[in-house]
Chains A and B, each alone.
Chain A
Amino acid sequence: MTDGFTCTDKETLITYLYGECDPAERRLVESHLAGCAACAQEIEAFGGVREALAAWAPPERAAGFRIVAEEAAQPPEVRTATVLRPRRWWQAPVPGLMRAAAAVLLFAAGAAVANLEVRYDKDGLVVRTGWMRSDDGQAAAPAVVPVSTPATTPAQWRADLVSLERRLTDRFDQRLVSSTPATQPGGAGGVRPVDERVFLSRVEDLIAQSEQRTQREMAYRISELNGEVSAQRIADLRRMEQGLGATGAEALQNRQMINYLLTVSQKK
């Protein structure tokens, strides 16, 4: 450099451009630039390029990660494993409304099976299982179960018992009266007693029909319930996926980092 600066000495020109020349070199370059338009223009253009380069800024957001100690890294890894494992559908949490709806449906199905009738009147709370009733009204009397009666005194008890006895006697008498005409038409060749076996088989028939009906209804309700449950489950899963979608990449990144940290700590 002591014998001057030439236009071909680009290394020195660059050193000058970035201010890394020693004073002697700088003086040589400056005196050359004063007399050489091409080199002066080049150095000016490079200055302009450098100004333009300054406009290119990276995003400002900080990466925001840090190294964590070994013992702190362990539990999240364990937790991550349990969180990331997909749940089976029956383990998925059922929303409250769905649970309530299921309870109502189950109750309705149960009531349908029993053909239940619940009544509360002056006789107290009456629970009646209706499938013992016949369509033509000739079947056995409905089973009436008084669940509770109003509080009574012993005198009332006695009066009740007497009235009950009277009612039973009346009913028995009525039954005798009503059965007499039924036996009369067939009584030309002799009175034929009511065949209890026929009556029983008819009752059994009715019971079987009723059971079939309730089973069909129950199957229908269960399939309906199942459909609703699966639709809700799909909707919930979709919502969860949407919720996880935004953070999926972050979760993956965090997981990778934790894995690295674990390997590092194991090596240590």
Chain B
Amino acid sequence: MDPPGGSLQDGTGLGVTDEDLVARSVGGDTESFNELIKRWEKPIFALAYRTIGREEDARDVCQETFLRAFRALPGFKGQAKFSSWLYRIALNLCRDWLRRERRAPIVPTPEGVDLVELAGEGEGVEGVDDAVVRRDLSRAVARAMRALPEEQRTAVLLKEYHGLTFQEISEMLSCPLSTVKTRLYQGLTVLRRELERNGIQTTARPGGKSAPRRPAAGQARAV
């Protein structure tokens, strides 16, 4: 559950752990907290964006998450990882947002995404045709995710895009390990059904059986 790129290899904070930065921040060093923001704003924003589905609101939630964390920092005793604590704050804010808005998450429509830019995100060289396919797929995934109940969606998000272990998710959501696994299974089942309904094939791929992906692979895509 380290931030993308690891918690220790990040530019100015070379060799400094989140916990060190937290301790310095509590001591009044705002620059240390800014370093924490730099490390974690992308994952937190990504979580908020995929939960809420609206970019501007996700930015608000992201900003609010760090402000709340900054205010509550003196009360943070290191009982959990700083990142877990941040995720929990962000998830609570997202839940508040969804309840306040009284609606399901919005399906983000990446129509405004520049295809060239989108192509640039892929690994290696990707043509515009591939970028178009990926954009359509992205839209289909966003739509399928909306079909998930909130608990399943949260479990899928934390596992797939943030590379958290089942144990970490269980602690973060304060629920048994088996519940987390069940939510994941149910979530993937619903996603499979929804994607296939939208014409996305999940099984008929050349190469047959797909190898289970390592958590690190999910983490690498986290943001």
Contact = CB atoms under 8 A, between A and B. Distances in A.
Interface of A: 10-11, 13-20, 33, 40-41, 43-60, 62-63, 65-69, 249, 253, 257, 260-261, 263-264, 267-268
A69 B156 CA distance: 38
26 contacts: A11-B182, A14-B181, A18-B159, A19-B212, A19-B213, A33-B209, A41-B203, A44-B203, A44-B205, A44-B210, A45-B202, A46-B192, A47-B211, A48-B205, A50-B160, A50-B188, A56-B145, A57-B138, A58-B45, A58-B50, A58-B108, A62-B42, A63-B62, A67-B70, A260-B71, A267-B71
B93 interface: no
B155 to A, nearest CB: 10
Given A44-B208, A67-B34, A257-B67, A49 B191 contact: yes
Contacts of A249: 56
Nearest to A26: B212
Interface string B139-172: 0111001000000000010011100011000000
Nearest to B59: A63
A71 to B, nearest CB: 11
Contacts of A68: 30
A58 B49 contact: yes
A54 B191 CA distance: 13
B160 A57 contact: no
A50 B213 contact: yes
B184 to A, nearest CB: 5
A11 B181 contact: yes
Contacts of A14: 181, 184-185, 188
Most A CB atoms within 10 A — which of B156, B165, B181? B181
By DSSP majority rule, is chain A's interface helix, strand, loop, or mixed?
Answer: helix
B91 interface: no
Interface of B: 28, 30, 33-34, 37, 41-42, 45-46, 49-50, 55-56, 58-60, 62-63, 66-67, 70-71, 108, 113, 117, 121, 134, 137-138, 140-142, 145, 156, 159-161, 165-166, 178, 181-182, 184-185, 188, 191-192, 195, 200-203, 205, 208-215, 218, 221, 223
A199 B112 CA distance: 87
B20 to A, nearest CB: 17
A48 B58 CA distance: 28
A47 to B, nearest CB: 3
A51 B142 CA distance: 14
A264 B212 contact: no
Contact of A65 (B37, B137, B138, B195): B37
Given A53-B156, A264-B67, 6 more contacts: A16-B212, A17-B188, A48-B202, A50-B210, A58-B108, A69-B30
Nearest to A34: B209
Contacts of B188: 14, 17, 46, 49-50
A56 B211 contact: no
A60 B192 CA distance: 27
A62 to B, nearest CB: 7
Contacts of B49: 58-59
A114 B222 CA distance: 82
B209 A44 contact: yes
A219 B56 CA distance: 54
Contacts of B140: 52
Contacts of A20: 165-166, 215
A197 to B, nearest CB: 86
A263 B212 CA distance: 48
Nearest to A64: B41
A52 B221 contact: no
Nearest to A55: B137
B70 to A, nearest CB: 6
B37 A67 contact: yes
A62 B41 contact: yes
A35 to B, nearest CB: 13
Given A45-B202, A53-B141, A67 B211 contact: no
A67 B24 CA distance: 14
B121 to A, nearest CB: 6
A268 B50 CA distance: 34
B181 A10 contact: yes
A32 to B, nearest CB: 13
Contacts of B141: 52-53, 55-56
A43 B56 CA distance: 36
A55 to B, nearest CB: 4
